[in-house]
Amino acid sequence: MSAPEAVLGARRTRIKICGLTRPQDIDAAVTAGVDAIGLVFYPPSRRCLALDQAAALRARVPAFVGVTALFVNPDAQLVRGVIDTVHPDLLQFHGEEPPDFCAEFGVRHMKAFRVGAPGLDTAAGLARACVSHGQAAGWLFDSYSAGYGGSGSSFDTALLADVPRGAGVPALILSGGLTAETVGGQIAALKPFAVDVSSGVESAPGIKDPARIRAFVQAVRAADAAPGGFSGGALAG
């Protein structure tokens, strides 16, 4: 246990639920105790929102729960429109966006890497890509899938072996096919700072299931409470 954890007793993997499209799903996620919710602005996704729809969902999110806006290779105009209308706390870039693009909006961001994509299919290649996105607040790892993400498929986490970890380094956020059944084992093995899930808490794309959300949050908390649980540190993991 690191010094801040010893003092604060911090053993808490952060949780983001992504791809919400309905007010009742926001309420279910907030009630279950998630740290952040994600809104999708990628038109091919069945979870994609119009700006007015997203603004209404955002207004339902209370203080101290973060709102992330997800993009895939967007044009700058879309990002600015979302920032002005929805006021996200964090941007999530899930495509091949270059570092300078991600950093140009004056809103903190996390960079997603699709593990297994060309250039991201070795531990060294993945680590290099991460380091090139050193301005990010977090590095999110997802599986390589045809539709860019939200596919419910997992990846070989051994490829994360060379990703830098520690204080002052962007937080490690694990995603890709997580479920209430699998997340505990992944937390025990990798000790990510946060986990992100979409498909694993749904009954259909964009339709969240409150019971699955609760089960997911409970599984994360159980993993945190287990011996050798959370050790991602207060800020970085």
Ligand X SMILES: O=C(O)c1ccccc1N[C@@H]1O[C@H](COP(=O)(O)O)[C@@H](O)[C@H]1O
> Counting contacts by CB under 6 A, is residue 148 touching ligand X?
yes
Contacts of residue 38, Cβ cutoff 8 Å, sequence gap at least 6? 16, 17, 18, 19, 20, 67, 68, 69, 70, 92, 196, 198
Cβ pair 45, 147 in contact under 8 A: yes
Q: Scan residues 181-220 and list those touching ligand X (CB under 6 A).
A: 196-200
Q: Scan residues 80-99 and list those touching ligand X (CB under 6 A).
A: 94
227: exposed, middle or buried (Cβ count in 10 Å: 0-12, 13-18, 19+): exposed
Nearest distance from C-beta of residue 70 to ligand X, angstroms: 6
User: Quick one: which of 133, 17, 140 has its CA closest to 67?
Assistant: 17
> Counting contacts by CB under 6 A, is residue 13 touching ligand X?
no
The whole-angstrom separation of Cα 178 and Cα 15 is: 11
Nearest distance from C-beta of residue 151 to ligand X, angstroms: 5
> Counting contacts by CB under 6 A, is residue 72 touching ligand X?
yes
Alpha helices in 34-73 (DSSP H): 51-59
Phi, psi of 204 (to 5 degrees): -160, 160
Considering 48, 130, 142, 196, which one is annotated as catalytic? 142
Nearest distance from C-beta of residue 43 to ligand X, angstroms: 10
Q: Judged by CB, which is closer to ligand X: 70, or 126? A: 70
Q: Scan residues 124-143 and list those touching ligand X (CB under 6 A).
A: 140, 142
Nearest distance from C-beta of residue 2 to ligand X, angstroms: 26
> Counting contacts by CB under 6 A, is residue 177 touching ligand X?
yes
CA distances from 84 to 106, 111, 178, 197 (A): 12, 21, 32, 26
Secondary structure class of 164 (helix, strand, coil): coil
Does residue 18 carry a catalytic annotation?
Answer: yes
Q: Scan residues 19-48 and list those touching ligand X (CB under 6 A).
A: 19, 38, 40, 42, 45, 47
Q: 80-100 as b/e, with b when 16 or more CB fall inside 10 Å?
A: eebeeebebebbbbbeebebe
Per the DSSP assignment, residues forming a β-bridge with 79 are none
Considering 18, 48, 102, 130, which one is annotated as catalytic? 18
Does residue 102 carry a catalytic annotation?
Answer: no
> Counting contacts by CB under 6 A, is residue 18 touching ligand X?
yes
Q: Judged by CB, which is closer to ligand X: 141, or 230? A: 141
Which of the residues are catalytic? 18, 142
Residues that bind ligand X (CB under 6 A): 18-19, 38, 40, 42, 45, 47, 70, 72, 94, 140, 142, 148-152, 175-178, 196-200
